[in-house]
Structure 1
Amino acid sequence: MAFSDLLLQSVGESEIQGRESLPQLLNAIRQHLQMDVAFVSEFVRGRRVFRTVDPPGPDNPVQPGASDPLEESYCQRVVDGRLPELMCDAKQNPVAAALPVTHALPVGAHLSVPILLADGSYYGTFCCFSYSPDQSLDARDLNMMRVFADVAARLIDKEREVSLRQKTLEGKILAALESDSLSMVYQPIYDLEQAKVVGFEALSRFSPDPYRPPDAWFCDAKEVGLGSELEARAIRLGLRAMEHLPDDIYMSVNISPEYILDGVLEEIFQDQTLHRVMLEITEHAVVDHYDELARLIRPFRHRGLKIAVDDAGAGYASFRHILNLAPDRIKLDISLTRNIDTDSSRRALAAAFSKFAEETGTAIVAEGVETESEIKTLRRLGVTKVQGYYIGRPMPLSQAAQICCH
């Protein structure tokens, strides 16, 4: 492995680390060469813009975001060959000596290496300088600068790639929010004792090609900071269906707890009648602030909102949700209900949930039910509400309304 690869690996190549790594690179090379200032510049429409500098602080004559004309800089002259990449004493070079900045700073020793991106374009330069001359600098120091500049180029390429991905994702999510590409389907929830459909879960579907699962859309929205907007829109669309369903049918909608903590419930439920609404907490991650989460939900529960914890049995977080939120419903995950008729471990865990529900006055809904044998097993365990392909696949509203009438 080349030294530049090792260096890149050591500072990190992820999109989060990339921005933090350029200052690390600059500080490392500046300290190694015992120079006063190091910076990465970008060439933008005839100007040199300082993007990252070391050391940080007001005493540095080079500040991030500052710029000057390229033709007044060393950087342009290094790129086009009018100045060498290494000068032990800039005042001894006639081209550098003619530039006002050489005397104003002053510039003593100077190293500058072009940053060449993967597409062959020049981004800018990777530079170090000291206020005093330094005759000890040599070709080895320059080669080290080139290695660091190569690593900087790869970090910048990565950051640009991430930025492009972010913009692309943001555009797709905004388009979904502003168009009809997001729609809802409804999966029935069946009560075995009443022998009827008692509710529906509203599930998102996205129409743009190529097809991507709904979870991928919500993950993308979260990545670009639009997660709460997309989930809120899905909830609003889902709740509209209640106008077309009988009054004894409830609607279950999904939300991540982090968006509840962001305060979106007030906006979503501002003018909504809630006695037929079930809010499913869907996040698999552990919540750090259950007291705050419960506080924000409480006013809506007083207005009739019911709370369900989704995917129970799928991970540790769901148990924490159940214990801390005192839900009205616990939804057993498909991984627990599938093959429950033939798997004693699954039956034992479902039985434990059923006993917990009995002790706490909570109802159980088993998701992912696909066979009559699974239903019979669940009923023996005391689970009387089921959801899954055996009962009905997700369907358009017109079909959901028709089911309720039979």
Structure 2
Amino acid sequence: MEHDIWDSLLLPGASEATLSQDLQSVLHSVRTHLGMDVAFISEFDQGRRVLRVVDAGGSTKGPKQGHADPEEESYCRKIVDHELAGRIPDTGLNASTRSMPVTEDLEIGAYLGVPLHHASGEVFGTFCCYRHEPDPSLSERDLALLRTVADIVSRQIEQRFRARREENAAVARVEGVLAQQAVKIVYQPIYDRSVGRVVGYESLARFSAEPYRTPDVWFSEAKRVGAGERLEMLAIRQALTALEALPDGTYLAVNVSPVHIISGAVARTLAGHDASRIVLEVTEHERVADYAAFREAVAPLRQRGVRLAIDDAGAGYATFQHILELDIDIIKLDISLIRDLHLDRRRRALTASLIAFAETIDAVVIAEGVECQEELEALWEFGVYKTQGYHIGRPMLLQEALGAGLAPS
């Protein structure tokens, strides 16, 4: 059994604390309903029977959470192995329990116990309760009630076990990527028709680790398991290795999360690099929890020459708040606006509005996701000459990107 899983059920924190409280509540309800002194959930752990959750009604007489006995000397093990019945009204009248040390140690007079099962059917512990005095009134109905409740408890614990196993697997996947630095960077060119050349390259992460998943899934999983900053900084460091190889007059765009700008991680990662050739792209989809803190954190980078872009503009409502709150240099129009721009008057209207707004704040507009000549020409009609997308050039390895001859007609 995974010890960290049981520990997580009993330590303070989010859903784990909630489950622990739920189990405690169930134990209390069953114990009081049956008129018992102690109720507990146990686990079989490396030859021991360990009490994982205990309710003794506040009595100092009952065992404490974590109490352990040798497995073979416990009622629990004998009940699971069918050496003891699940209902023992008087332990003093039972030849087996009368001679067991645990009977005297825990002052067990009457006992009810049933196994707890994994979904696979494997027994992992027991749900039990007992009185210090014999109780001849204990019935098979009482045992049936305990068995019903135990089934519910088993499902609750199994769900949490499954979730924690999945979380452990996610941690292992992300840590594997970090340890192997299994992040490959590709570069997508940004072409400026007004000067007739590539002016920048957006760096994009690709993952070679198994299982194959898209980059957004990897970054989302890393964030969920607390490794989001480490993975994002790894990708940025890998991207920065191309900076010196890029042609003069071009820049490198890297995608960043606002939280990592605020934490200072981005500033630390960019230290020692030519900031004037770096653009930080903050996606429209990323929430900025504290705009004042963001502006304060990014100010030293701006002073060094870093430019700030809002990525995916037009993809959702947050774009406008980002634009209003942040002193941005570049607005990147999202592919959802560019797709069929030449055919859709609503997209054209919103695009025109964003372009007009960009002009009033002296921001440069770049259209991303350009996939056909008609979209490109529609953008030229708006005066948008900086573009990227499959029609301009696909994301490529560095040497391929540098050697690509791009001259959209």
- Give the TM-score, by structure 2 length: 0.86
Shift in CA distance, 137/383, structure 1 to aligned 2, threshold 3 Å: farther
TM alignment of 1:7-406, pairs within 5 A: 17=15, 20-21=18-19, 23-34=21-32, 35-54=36-55, 61-179=62-180, 181-209=182-210, 211-282=212-283, 284-403=285-404
SS at match of 1:373: helix
SS at match of 2:359: helix
The percentage of counterpart residues that share the same residue type is: 43
Aligned-pair distance for 1:57?
Answer: 8.0
Aligned-pair distance for 1:397?
Answer: 0.5
Contact 1:25–1:148, Cα closer than 8 Å, also in 2 = no
Counterpart residue identity of residue 27, structure 1: S
Q: Deviations over 1:86-145 (max 9, x none)?
A: 334444544334344434443344322111212232101122334455555432332222
Q: Deviations over 1:230-276 (max 9, x none)?
A: 11111111111111112311101112223334442243123222111
Contact 2:284–2:316, Cα closer than 8 Å, also in 1 = no
Contact 1:41–1:124, Cα closer than 8 Å, also in 2 = yes
- In 2, the alpha carbon distance for the partners of 1:294 and 1:55 equals 54
Aligned-pair distance for 1:60?
Answer: 8.1
Aligned-pair distance for 1:325?
Answer: 2.1
- In 1, the alpha carbon distance for the partners of 2:322 and 2:56 equals 46
SS at match of 2:276: coil
- In 2, the alpha carbon distance for the partners of 1:58 and 1:344 equals 75
Contact 1:41–1:48, Cα closer than 8 Å, also in 2 = yes
Counterpart residue identity of residue 397, structure 2: P
Match of residue 5 from structure 1:
none
Shift in CA distance, 181/90, structure 1 to aligned 2, threshold 3 Å: same
- In 2, the alpha carbon distance for the partners of 1:92 and 1:287 equals 69
Greater Cα offset, 57-66 or 102-111: 57-66
Aligned-pair distance for 1:285?
Answer: 4.5
Contact 1:256–1:283, Cα closer than 8 Å, also in 2 = no
Contact 2:310–2:323, Cα closer than 8 Å, also in 1 = yes
Shift in CA distance, 104/271, structure 1 to aligned 2, threshold 3 Å: same
Counterpart residue identity of residue 224, structure 2: E
- In 2, the alpha carbon distance for the partners of 1:22 and 1:140 equals 27
Aligned-pair distance for 1:346?
Answer: 0.9
Shift in CA distance, 76/174, structure 1 to aligned 2, threshold 3 Å: same
SS at match of 2:166: helix
- In 2, the alpha carbon distance for the partners of 1:22 and 1:180 equals 38
Shift in CA distance, 405/372, structure 1 to aligned 2, threshold 3 Å: closer
Greater Cα offset, 135-144 or 330-339: 135-144
- Give the TM-score, by structure 1 length: 0.86
SS at match of 1:126: strand
Counterpart residue identity of residue 24, structure 1: D
- In 2, the alpha carbon distance for the partners of 1:123 and 1:225 equals 30
Calculate the aligned-residue CA RMSD, in Å.
Answer: 2.7
- In 1, the alpha carbon distance for the partners of 2:179 and 2:297 equals 28
- In 2, the alpha carbon distance for the partners of 1:402 and 1:57 equals 75
- In 2, the alpha carbon distance for the partners of 1:393 and 1:226 equals 29
The count of aligned residue pairs is 391
Contact 2:204–2:395, Cα closer than 8 Å, also in 1 = yes
Greater Cα offset, 183-192 or 75-84: 75-84
SS at match of 2:389: coil
Aligned-pair distance for 1:210?
Answer: 5.1
Match of residue 8 from structure 1:
none
- In 1, the alpha carbon distance for the partners of 2:87 and 2:284 equals 55
Greater Cα offset, 61-70 or 346-355: 61-70
SS at match of 1:190: strand
Unaligned residue ranges in structure 2 (runs of 5+): 1-13
